[in-house]
Amino acid sequence: MIVAVCIGEDGGMLFNRRRVSRDRAQRADLLALCGGKALRMNDYSAALFRDAADQIIVDKAFLETAGPGDVCFVEDRPLSPWMAEIEAVVLYRWNRAYPADVRLDLDLSAFERVRQTEFPGSSHERVTREIYRGKER
């Protein structure tokens, strides 16, 4: 599976059940990156993608049921239990630090950064998208 995650400068994903960002440009970028393929997520994230309902799959067990090549948008849970299944990581970084009680728990040293792109966000001056591919394991 391919996981897509938004984080602040300090790796924070969520604070008191509030997401790091609701950036429209980031969501559009992620949907475009999917290239028409479905984007998998849970109910919490689905509220952000109402305009793309035909391109998303909402499933409480979306990580458990994801297969190779499936793209999963993750905002509110640990990813380290899925390390063996994660082929790639699409990381959206905001250029700000936010309070966080849920942080990205993946060891990115197990991956190789293959691309980095910056673009203006709708809520952030700059959004950095980094794509990591799994190293040979």
User: Range of 32's domain?
Assistant: 2-134
Q: Which ranges constitute the DSSP H helices of the chain?
A: 24-34, 43-46, 62-65
Tell me how many helices (H) and strands (E) the chain has: 3, 10
pLDDT at 120: 94
Total domains in the chain come to 1
User: CATH number for the domain including 89?
Assistant: 3.40.430.10
pLDDT at 97 over 90: no
pLDDT at 82: 95
Neighbouring C-alpha atoms within 13 Å toward the C-beta of 37: 16
pTM, two decimal places: 0.93
Q: Which tokens in the block code for residue 126?
A: 């700059």
Instruction: Please give the torsion angle defined by the CA atoms of residues 31, 104, 93 and 130, in that order, rounded to the nearest 10 degrees.
Output: -70
Residue % of the chain over a pLDDT of 90? 74
